[in-house]
Amino acid sequence: MPIVTVKLLEGRTDEQKKALVEKVTEAVVETVNAKREAVTIVIEEMSKNHYASGGVRAIDKN
């Protein structure tokens, strides 16, 4: 039943995403006593022109 959403800047490889999903699922199962098959993970990629911190987008930083 846990639903995990991970927002990331684009640019990760497929292998990194696969590992992310495995390790985060593991972390959730271990700590909150959820069944593995009940854990859902969604990755949402952000492009550099759509993510900002401090008022400056990633694409506008040097």
Please pick, from the candidates 10, 54, 61, 62, the single residue that binds its own copies as defined by CB under 8 A. 54
Minimum Å gap between C-beta 11 and its own copies is 9
Length of the chain, please? 62
Q: Does 3 bind its own copies (CB under 8 A)?
A: yes
Cα separations in angstroms, 15 against 37, 45, 49, 61: 21, 15, 24, 27
2 is catalytic: yes
Q: How far apart are CA 47 and CA 62, in angstroms?
A: 16
Q: One of 1, 2, 16, 24 is an active-site residue; which one?
A: 2
Q: Does 62 bind its own copies (CB under 8 A)?
A: no
